[in-house]
Structure formats: structure tokens, C-alpha cells
Amino acid sequence: MSCVALALEQFNNYFDYTIQDLLSIFPKDHLDKDGQPFWSGPKRAPSATKFDVNNQTHLDFVEAYSYLIATSLNIKFSKDRVAIAKIAANTKVTAYVPKKIEVKLPEEEKNNNNNNQPEAVAPEDEEMIERLLEKLAVIKSAVSKDNVSPAEFEKDDDSNFHIAFIDAAANLRATNYQIKNCDRQKTKMIAGKIIPAIATTTAMITGAVCVEIYKFVQGYTKLEDVKNSFVNLALPLFVFSEPIEVNKIKSKDYDPISMCQVKSIPEGYTIYDKTTVDIGSLTFQQFFDHMSSNYKIDITLVSCGNYALFNAFLPGNKHGARLSRKIEDVYGEVAEQPLPTGRYYLQLELGGSVQGEDDVDFQMPTTKYCFMKH
């Protein structure tokens, strides 16, 4: 009886109550911010489905769901459909209680992010989590892993209710959105095509990646020790090749963009390299002095992502006043979004010239400036 009651609760949750919640937020006559019907084009307005014990699809879902829960928990379960229908008809389920949910459309979410407003968590979710944690604390001592048995999907065994559950759940959701239902055989055919694509391909790729991780942790780090994999199970085709070496950035006698000679510091660095400055919080002038003494460069441009933090070429030496200011303070002033909590570094892109060499610019890896010393 408990399994049937749980199946009924989930039926209402999946196909009735959540649909009512959705329609309470966006009624069928709802208009968007431009005055156009919200439910139009590919967005079909759903309809809630009330459980009807006389509807075969409804009963299919309850029967299949009950059986899957019972077998997973090693509970004896009768396949007497008439008895299941009788239990379902006499089971009292939780009444619908409207939820207070605030939903933001994509354009509203974008505006919210631009205004740096924190996302709100629905009170119902918090309360539900608290209740579940309390229940888990009570029952965890009484539950053993031996009491639970996993179910391995098998589409060709009709006695395990796997296809029955998929067929019923899919058709019920289709009914919610006025989509044509399909018969059990078509459901089995579709599931047969999807499951190998998900399970087999994912397992293959996961295995190939794990092999490379095993090599790395055992010290096999030479280029010829690792492999790129190209797999097409439909053919089937398995190709393993040695990856090419990462591109190294070298000095140029003439760069068409800078229109001058460019020197790489250090020579032959890659996109995976970083120049780390980890001596604590610095002003721009202190940072420039550090880079000058350690890398023999004169900096005229400093940027971080889309933000220009310092530009010596602005008219009237506009950024000259920033020389005595902390780099992170200037970033906090010009950036639209603050740094995430717990991040105490900025990734800086630098521009300028090499000391003692006329008309020679430099290029170097992204500079990781740590304003809190580690």
C-alpha cells in the first residue's frame, strides 16, 4: 500500500500539481513584456492531469512505479492489477497547495545579473530540504545497503515494468502538452536507440579519459605516452593518435599588429603558462617597479578582461592618478560585477616595451596578480 501511495503522490507531483503551479505563474492568457501571448509558437500551454483510476495510462504509471520502488527496496509486491486499482482508488493523497514561486524570464534574469542582485531561493525549497534532512537523520541508522537493490535497465523483459514505466510517464507528459501519444512498441524502439547511445558511448569515452588520467598520476607525462581518441561506435571506428605538442609563443622580428619587433618573455611560453606576482597588495606604481626589476619591461597598458585598468596613452595623463592606487581598488571601481567571494587575485594582460631596446614590444603569459599573499 505504501508503494502505491508513493506512486500516487508522484503522479500528482509530476503531472498535476507542478502544472497547476506553472499555470498560476503563467496563465494561458499571459502576455510577455512586449504584449505578445506568452504561450505561442513552440511554447504550448500545458494542462494539468487529474488521476483517474479508470484511465489505463494512469494505472500503468501507478503499477509500474509501485513495482520499481518495491523491487528496489526488496518488498514483496503483487502484480494483481485489480488489487492495485482498488488500493489506488481508496488511497488518500496530499491535497494540492499552491506554491509561491518567483520566476524570472531570461531577459529579466540578465537584467538581474547586470544589477548584481543575488538570486533568491524559494522558501518552499529551503523548508523541504530541512524536512528531508530531519527525516534522513531519523531513518539513516535503520537503513542498510543490503536493503536496497539497484535496477539494471532491460527493455526486452516485459516482466520488470521498465518499458511500462517509460511508456506511461512519456505519454502522460505528452498529454500535459497536447502531444500525440505513442504505443508501447514505439516506446520500446525509441528507448532501444537512446540507451546504447547514452550508456555505451558515455562509458567508452569515460574509460578512455580515465586511462589517460591513470597514466598521468603514474608519471607518464611524455607526449608519446598519451593518446587522443576518436570513436564512432556506429561504424565502428576506433582511432588513437599521438597529440601534437602545444604551440609555443616565440619572439618575432616583425609583428604586423604592433608593427615592430616583439619579444616573448619567457621565450617559448604556452597558453597554459602564467606569470605570478604573489607579494601582496600593490599600487600600480609598485607593480610596475616589480615588473621592471624582475622582467626588464616598461608597462604602459594594464587590462583585466573587458576592463582597462591603466592606460598611459590617454590624453592629459588621465590615468596618472591611479599610479598611487591599489590595483584591486581600481578594478572594484570600474568593473560591473565584483569578484566572487573567496577570490583574491586578478588576471592581468600587460602591454608596453622592453627596457633598453628601441621599438621592441613584449608579449608574456597572463599575469596572475595575487593581492592577498599566499
Q: Which fold has domain 252-370?
A: 3.10.290
- Mean local confidence (pLDDT), 324-339: 93
- Mean local confidence (pLDDT), 46-68: 96
Instruction: Give the pLDDT score at 251.
Output: 95
CA distances from 329 to 83, 213, 311, 321, 350 (A): 71, 40, 16, 13, 18
- Structure-block grid coordinates of residue 221: 607525462
Q: How many beta carbons lie within 10 A of that of residue 360, not counting itself?
A: 16
Q: Does residue 81 contact residue 99 with C-beta atoms inside 8 Å?
A: no
pTM above 0.85, yes or no: no
Q: Does residue 349 contact residue 310 with C-beta atoms inside 8 Å?
A: no
CA distances from 190 to 86, 167, 170, 196, 203 (A): 32, 10, 11, 11, 20
Whether residue 365 has a cis bond before it, omega within 30° of 0:
no
C-alpha neighbours within 13 Å on the C-beta side of residue 233: 11
Give the rounded percent of residues in the chain with a pLDDT score beyond 70. Answer: 92
For the chain, first and last CA: distance in Å?
60
Which has the closest alpha carbon to 294: 305, 286, 302?
Answer: 286
| Amino acid (1-letter code) at residue 203 | A
Torsion from C-alpha of 11, 172, 186, 89, nearest 10 degrees: 50
CA distance 3 to 87: 10
Which has the closest alpha carbon to 260: 250, 249, 251, 272?
Answer: 251
Cβ neighbours for 355, distance < 8 A, ≥ 6 positions apart: 292, 296, 297, 298
- Mean local confidence (pLDDT), 52-60: 96
Q: Does residue 69 contact residue 147 with C-beta atoms inside 8 Å?
A: no
Q: Has residue 118 got a pLDDT over 90?
A: no
CA distance 116 to 346: 19
| 20 class by beta-carbon count within 10 Å (0-12 exposed, 13-18 middle, 19+ buried) | middle
Provide the residue count of the chain: 374
- Mean local confidence (pLDDT), 73-101: 88
- Mean local confidence (pLDDT), 49-61: 96
- Mean local confidence (pLDDT), 259-276: 94
Give the CA angle between residues 77, 80, 84 to the nearest 5°.
Answer: 80
Q: Has residue 315 got a pLDDT over 90?
A: yes
Q: At 331, is the pLDDT very low, low, confident or very high (cuts 50, 70, 90)? A: very high
- Structure-block grid coordinates of residue 335: 568593473
CATH-assigned architecture of domain 2-182: Orthogonal Bundle (1.10)
Q: Does residue 365 contact residue 277 with C-beta atoms inside 8 Å?
A: no
Delimit the domains of the chain by residue range.
2-182, 198-241, 252-370
- Mean local confidence (pLDDT), 307-332: 95
Least confident of 86-100, 140-154, 162-176, 283-297: 140-154
